Copies of this chain bind each other. A is one copy, B any other.
């Protein structure tokens, strides 16, 4: 009779795998790719070194995988927020809220994406470009829609979206460096929203 992992076994396995991945996100985002050691990760996860290699092929693969997954998570959250609204102000606000929320409550996610893997590993470069591209597109779509509806003045929306992506990241990273990030969050969202609407030359219609 072939070995068949029962549900319970699989659950346990998944739980351990998940624990290690979460530990890895914490460690990678805290120390960056190179400074983070496998030992750091496994001791954070409470397992042995060997266990790491049972679940993951190697450090680099895990990191890239983590990066992709984390990017996916963040992008989806922001996109869903923007797509659930109709007007540009609402879309931008919802998107910013989602982004800031994640930044404040899951800072490791943002750290990993924006800081942890910058000069890290060659294989990541392309993923990074991809991430920036998708993030830009998320901000561009509402702009394109608003432009089509003449709610904003004619402009290179692609460029505006790039600028948004950079601007939001910078402000949010600065926010994370404050001790009372949570309290500031609301104000930051407001200010970024106004910034974005002004920058997009939002006219509110006609």
A residues adjacent to B (C-beta < 8 A) = 3, 31-35, 48, 50, 115-121, 129, 132, 155-156, 159-160, 162-171, 174, 177, 188, 191-192, 194-196, 198-201
> Can you report 24 residue pairs joining A to B where beta carbons are below 8 Å apart?
A3-B50, A31-B119, A32-B34, A33-B34, A35-B120, A35-B121, A115-B119, A116-B119, A119-B120, A155-B191, A159-B171, A159-B192, A162-B167, A162-B174, A163-B171, A163-B195, A165-B170, A166-B167, A167-B170, A169-B170, A195-B199, A196-B199, A198-B200, A199-B199
Shortest CB-to-CB span from A119 to chain B, Å, is: 2
Count of identical protomers in the assembly: 4
- A27 CA to B116 CA, complexed, in Å: 20
- A167 CA to B166 CA, complexed, in Å: 4
- A168 CA to B196 CA, complexed, in Å: 14
Shortest CB-to-CB span from A181 to chain B, Å, is: 14
Is A160 in contact with B119, judged by CB distance below 8 angstroms? no
Q: A159-B188, A162-B167 are in contact. List 13 more A-B contacts (CB 8 A).
A: A3-B50, A32-B118, A34-B34, A34-B119, A35-B119, A119-B120, A155-B195, A156-B191, A159-B171, A166-B168, A166-B169, A198-B198, A198-B200
